Structure formats: structure tokens, C-alpha cells
Chains A and B, each alone.
Chain A
Amino acid sequence: MFDNEMHVSFLGVSQNESFARMVAAAFASQLNPTIEELTDIRTAVSEAVTNAIIHGYSGMRGMVGMDCAIEGRNFTVTIRDEGRGIPNVPLAMQPFYTSVPNLERSGMGFAVMEAFMDSVTVESEVGRGTTVIMKKEIAAVGCDE
């Protein structure tokens, strides 16, 4: 059982990218993260939500789900779409790989998620959608600091 959790669901439109990262950061704030840790979470969430919108739905109307959970000092965020899915996950996660170079994507989204979070797990099924689970331990800061 988690110490705390929350679930939101929003339409997959680009206006909601900043909404999603703000909500995730606000929820993670109860662990007293540093500014840097919060930036890491905001950036990783932005990458996963942007992917759901651009690649998962690519113009189709669909909902993006975001779950956040806290267990001890561990923060977990799960971002889910019911879009087209990823045919080859290891390939998709390679730095600089993008299936849409014509859209001016750099192919660095998953690399950024992996650099900024402790772990990134991707579950995907073609035609069913994609779930990205990211975890980060928030270091405890002593009260005399």
C-alpha cells in the first residue's frame, strides 16, 4: 500500500503538458524535494505526456492518464495512453531514435526520462497503447541543513 497516491486524466492536447508537469511536481512536493529534483520530475513527466500526445494519439482525440504515488521516500509517476502503441520498445528507447524525424523531433525523450529519473519502465502494445512508469527516490534533507 502506498503512503499517498493520486490519479488524474486529461485530454491529450498540448495545453495539458504544462498542467501535467505542474500537478506531478505539486504532488511530489510533500517529499520536500530540492529544486533540482522537482525539475527532473517536471521534465520527465513532460517527455512522457508529450509522447502520448504526439506519438500515441498523433492528432486523434484521446485521454492521457497520470498516476502519482509515494511510498517512503520513493516517488512513482505512471503515464498512460490508449493510442497506437510502440512496435519495438528497445529501439524506441535508444537515444536519437525517432520515428518522425520530419516533425523536428530529436529522439531524446526517453534518454531524458532515463537520465532524470532512477528507473523508467515502458509497457506497450500496438493498437492498445503505452504505459510509462518512472521512479525516483527523493533524498532526505536533514533539518539542520
Chain B
Amino acid sequence: MQIKTQRDGETLAVLLTGELDHHSAAPLRVELDALLGDRTIRCLALDLCGVTFMDSSGLGVVLGRYKLMKERGGSVRIQGASRPVERILKMAGVYALLGQQDAERGKGHV
């Protein structure tokens, strides 16, 4: 799993590439939390357009970061999920939890 980041004001945009499973979730979590140690970041924008595989371990990473951002009054946004990845996110009600509407989810790049 590769990650590319771009800072824009209070938003940290993160582009994820590769397979997001239990094996890759652990280092990804460490890397994201190190970045989010900067408390001036108020919005984490995850671009999943390069994620070729994701299972429920990916849900854990997303929901865990949501909890972290919520604790500081911030937010998480998701975009670019492929159909199968989107299906899993929807099953767990992630878009609704993040307060995202259908139209906002479309393909996009950091």
C-alpha cells in the first residue's frame, strides 16, 4: 500500500494505492496517525481511486480515523472508491456516517 499526501489549508489529502487488507492496514494506520499528529489538520480527504482491493480491515482503518478526526471536531471525506470498494463502504454505512451525499463520491484525484 502506497500513500501520497498533499496539504491544502486545514485539509490533508491522502491518495492510497494498492491492496488494503489486514496486512497492509497496520503500517497504513501508523503512517496516517503520524500525519494526523498535526492537530491543525481538520479534514482528512481520502482518495481511494488507487485501491485495487479492500476488505473489512479497510473499514476499520477508515472508521478509526473518523473517530480520531471527530474527537478534534474535524471530518473525513472519501472519494474515488471503485464499485467493489464502494459496496463494502456502503454496507457499513460509512458514507452516511461521514455525512457524504451520493454526488460527492465520484471518481477523483488528489
Taking beta carbons and an 8 Å cutoff, which residues of A are in contact with B?
14-15, 17-18, 21, 36, 39-40, 42-43, 46-47, 50, 53-54, 96, 103-106, 108-109, 111-112, 115
Contact = CB atoms under 8 A, between A and B. Distances in A.
B55 A106 contact: no
Nearest to B58: A106
Contact of B92 (A18, A42, A108): A108
B59 A106 contact: yes
A15 B23 CA distance: 6
A115 B22 contact: no
Given A106-B92, A112-B91, A14 B61 contact: no
Interface SS majority for chain B: helix
**Interface residue tally of chain B, by bracket?**
20 to 34
Contact of B56 (A36, A53, A112): A112
B57 interface: yes
Nearest to B22: A50
Contacts of A39: 53, 84
